[in-house]
A and B are shown apart, each in its own frame.
Chain A
């Protein structure tokens, strides 16, 4: 079914890790020039302490992305508690020309009444929550990473006649938990206040292994992510058919232009999903792919879409 397939857009979520500011800038320059993505989310979603390092580079990055034909949106902090966190939210939401993605109710507090996006940390699992937010100005909603396809399909159908689009992450490590405590600092025997920004040493996060040596989770400051990378490239036709309008790639140090191109080619039916999968496999990431959440299975599992269809 082709409905939605033409207009489905690739987006790039915010960089969740603490990259060196120059690396961060150069990454977005290349995205601006080469990646077939429609919307790019900028902004620090994890830790307000990291925020100021990127301030000097927002203006040139936004300029370059805009020149490259990309829509730019700002993602807000996922956990808002400290004075510094709250100031960041107020500042981002104060400017009426910015398109902002709210990742916490404190951002929605400021954004209600004007068009905005709702981010994946906001816990929109159902149509009632979606419509309550649409009434208050939400125009795009990115669902939580653990959202199963069965609920995503129902959500898309229920909001179809409303002025809102649905977005879902299709690539990158999955956010699994947030905490007030910084686990990067804890790993190094420090606290959040005395962290000395040790998270900058792990541009894709810090691997956490179970006692049997199996890689399990990834630490990124106050955030815990999966060890595996989510990969829904073989589910792209399914996602388009149910009406998901935006597919989100979460940035990593791997070749994100190649990742975006593979997804775009599948979206445009230039290649089959299986070939897209082969191209992503060829990137030889350090961790395996998984898609279990989509099928209502353990998130780390990798379900073959044909097998899943056969059992329905």
Chain B
């Protein structure tokens, strides 16, 4: 294949901490995305995220190396608390953030009317999965890029690309959420903490492990059992959508929604690049600096190899995947559905 078939896609990488942001940029990230230490972003975990000063320092570092910094303001403010989200948008402008990633219509309306020059990306949390939905956000709020839900095949992505006026960002690696993003209240049902409003899915404080005498683990979220593991099984981070359950249609417990797997689209990178994807997104703001460095470096090399007409190899990434298993999810074939 020739290099001219592709434009060089942007590699958008996770930064849960300033150190991770620097590691990502040093490893070849074109952009890093981060969040504040509050409910305004969908990875509102303890020990993660940025103060305003850290945003400013990181912006300096990132910009000094020709990369971009994006701020995720991608949760849904409950009425009465909108000021916190308004403050996040104001901060982004004040600190020279290159783009904000938003999901809520109210936040999008505020950002577009108050700061018409601020570049806005539509978060995957907005769940815009059709050309019409995407065009609604582009036409009404001036969205410049959409992060597509992880439910589409590559050919469907190519089809959407032809029908929308904005750029496409697609996930290529990391945790694969099985539920439509921005439309999941499972954690809230079990724990009283809302993924949409509080930015927390399956909070560590609500996860409990009970070990029996034989070393088998029972995992609970709040009061609900999500899974049981033998002492030799490896387990991913427990979420309701990756738990094992029973129902009348099955004789044995089964993964009713999805198995604990990690999305790895390295083999589909050339197809994604041909489908018109502008930016490739790596999930994992909750991951360590070492993880971010390794994944970003591997993808940097893969994207550059493909651009140079060489075969890309990403075998080493499997060791970093959850439960040591990987999937191409919805992207390769619709039989996944």
**Residues of A near any B CB (own CB < 8 A):** 78-81, 85-86, 89, 104-106, 108-110, 112, 121, 123-133, 136, 144-148, 150-152, 154-155, 158, 174-183, 186-188, 191-193, 198, 206-212, 214, 216-217, 219, 224, 226, 292-293, 296-301
- Measured between alpha carbons, how far is A147 from B140 in the docked complex, in Å? 25
Residue-wise, chain B 68-108 has the 8 Å CB interface mask toward A (1 for contact) of 00000000111111100000000000000000000111111
Say whether B247 faces chain A, with CB atoms less than 8 Å apart: yes
Chain B 204-221 per-residue mask, 1 if CB under 8 angstroms from chain A, else 0: 000000000000001000
**B1 within 8 Å of A (CB atoms):** no
21 contacts between A and B (CB under 8 A): A78-B183, A81-B156, A105-B127, A106-B130, A123-B103, A123-B196, A125-B196, A126-B81, A127-B82, A128-B106, A147-B78, A151-B80, A152-B79, A154-B78, A174-B189, A180-B149, A187-B256, A207-B248, A211-B244, A211-B253, A217-B245
How near does chain A come to B51, taking the closest CB pair, in angstroms?
25
Note all chain A residues with C-beta closer than 8 A to B227.
211
With an 8 A cutoff between CB atoms, is B151 at the interface? yes
Residues of A within 8 A of B250 (CB): 187
Q: What is the bound-complex CA distance between A179 and B225, given in angstroms?
A: 22
Seed contacts A132-B109, A181-B178, A208-B256; 17 additional CB < 8 Å A-B pairs? A80-B130, A105-B126, A105-B136, A126-B76, A146-B197, A150-B78, A151-B78, A154-B78, A174-B189, A175-B185, A181-B151, A187-B256, A211-B245, A214-B224, A217-B186, A224-B179, A300-B190
Contacts of A186 in B (CB 8 A): 256-257
Shortest beta-carbon distance from B84 to chain A in Å: 11
Residues of B with Cβ closer than 8 Å to A? 76-82, 103-110, 126-133, 135-137, 140, 149, 151-152, 156, 178-180, 182-186, 188-192, 194, 196-197, 218, 222, 224-228, 240-241, 243-250, 253-254, 256-258, 330, 334-337
In the complex, chain B residues whose CB is within 8 Å of the CB of A216: 224, 245
> Do residues B179 and A179 form an inter-chain contact, with CB atoms below 8 A?
yes
Closest to A150 in B: B80
| A72 smallest CB distance to B (angstroms) | 24
How far is the CB of A76 from the nearest CB of chain B, in Å?
11
